[in-house]
Amino acid sequence: MLLKRLFTIIFIILVVFGTAVVVNAQDFSKMYLFYGTGCPHCGQVESFFEEEDLFNRYPVEKKEIYFDRENALLFNELLDELGVPSERRGVPLVVIGDKVIVGDRPILNNFVAEADKFLGESGADKIEKNPPNEEKEKESGLDLTLAAVVGASVVDAVNPCAFAVLIILMGAILAAGDGRKAFKAGLAFAASIFISYFLMGLGLYKALGIGGISGLFYKIVGWLAIALGLLNLKDYFWYGKGFLMEVPMSWRPKLKSLLKSATSPKGAFGIGFIVSLILLPCTSGPYIVILAMLAEKATYIKAVSYLVLYNLIFISPMVLISYAVYKGFDPAKAEEMRQKRLRTLHLFAGIIMLAMGIVILMGWI
């Protein structure tokens, strides 16, 4: 009954968020005033707009970006579309169609003239014939953010750490019971990992959104992905030398003891939450890269749907191995296969992480 409820909850989350489609096409027929709370230069511009009654005279939308995440995303999406480099992005900033004015004095001196000029032109025909986002979507033909989410989650899914933990757990449950019990325990363990990783990811995503993602930080994330890729490649060519991209050796005896204490599905479910924290050192790299990417590029609903997808892919091998053990597959044989393919798993992870880092640093996402 407990397992059915857990997987019903996961299924509901997937249906609600996994099928959500967010369309981010920007409306270039509008005027925007972007400002930040507490910014003195923004205050001068706001006072000017109020004194001249510009908010009533012109279709200007005020957007605060320091504390409103959705507005900050809109700010970056608009400026990405208009090709404004990160070093020229600041507040106060006005967008009038495809015209960008930055700084209090330029806005005070030029807003009225540029707004009158824009309203005197036929923007509707221009927008209808050349919708910026639609054209870019047709050119790319691929949601690179989705591709990155899938790639990183696959890296995490085949992570040697997660495999080792599950195999130890399945062996312990089999020693205390039967294959059916081990299968339920494996599902319970996978469910707890899904819930804990999803909640941790959602919390970090919100924290990054509140703090804001700067262009420099986003580049640092790209270099982090490169570093993780190189470390995994190191483990392919020189396994065990220096820093190992797995659970630290000193932690493993305690981890095995903890896993062997689980003799039931309920115990496996509870231990899953503890193990998720132990696994963080060797599984969090791809997750952090993806979370930073989502905080920079995705709206809340889209980010949540991607987190659901990521974690479903992450736990899929756990479910498959649990089922295989239920059908008679020997956990000892699974561990033997894992040991033989450790280097290949690190090679695969290294290539994917290097590719993600290059994509981020090149600005393709």
Q: Is residue 231 part of a domain?
A: yes
Q: Are 306 and 160 within one domain? A: yes
Please check the confidence at residue 141 and state whether its pLDDT lies above 70. Answer: no
Of the candidates 54, 73, 5, 65, which has an alpha carbon nearest to the alpha carbon of residue 266? 5
How many angstroms separate the CA atoms of 263 and 173, rounded?
Answer: 5
Q: What is the pLDDT of residues 227-271, one digit of tens each?
A: 888 888 888 888 767 766 565 556 667 666 776 676 678 888 888
Residues, the chain:
365
Domain range spanning residue 57?
Answer: 31-140
Alpha-carbon Rg for the chain, nearest whole angstrom, is 25
Assess whether 219 and 111 both reside in one domain. Answer: no
Shared domain for 44 and 59, answered yes or no, is yes
Residue 213 lies in a domain: yes
The predicted structure's pLDDT at residue 88:
84
Torsion angle of C-alpha atoms 342, 273, 298, 285, degrees rounded to 10 = -30
Residue 329 is classified by DSSP as -
Q: Using CA atoms, how far apart are residues 165 and 276, in angstroms rounded to an integer?
A: 10
Pairing of strands 60-64, 99-102: unpaired
Query: With b meaning 16 or more CB within 10 Å and e meaning fewer, what string describes 114-152?
Result: bbeebeeeeeeeeeeeebbeeeeeeeeeeebbeebbbbb
d(CA 313, CA 284): 15
Are 305 and 157 contained in the same domain? yes
What's the pLDDT band for 122 if we cut at 50, 70, 90? very low
What is the pLDDT averaged over residues 92-107? 92
Last residue of a domain, one of 140, 167, 193: 140
Is 19 part of a structural domain of the chain? no
Residue 169 pLDDT exceeds 60: yes
Asked if 122 and 43 sit in the same domain, the reply is yes
Model confidence at 114: pLDDT above 70: yes
Tell whether 190 and 293 lie within a shared domain.
Answer: yes
In a shared domain, residues 147 and 136 = no
Q: What distances in angstroms separate CA 177 from CA 171, 262, 263, 320, 326, one per listed residue? A: 10, 11, 8, 19, 12
192 in a structural domain: yes
Q: Which of 82, 113, 140 is a domain's end point?
A: 140
**Stated pTM of the model:** 0.60
Domains identified in the chain, total number: 2
Picking from 10-19, 122-131, 202-211, which range would have the lowest pLDDT averaged per residue? 122-131
Question: 120, 140, 160: which is the final residue of a domain?
Answer: 140
Mean pLDDT across 183-196: 88
pLDDT of residue 350: 82
The answer as to whether 9 is a domain residue is no
* pLDDT for 210: 60
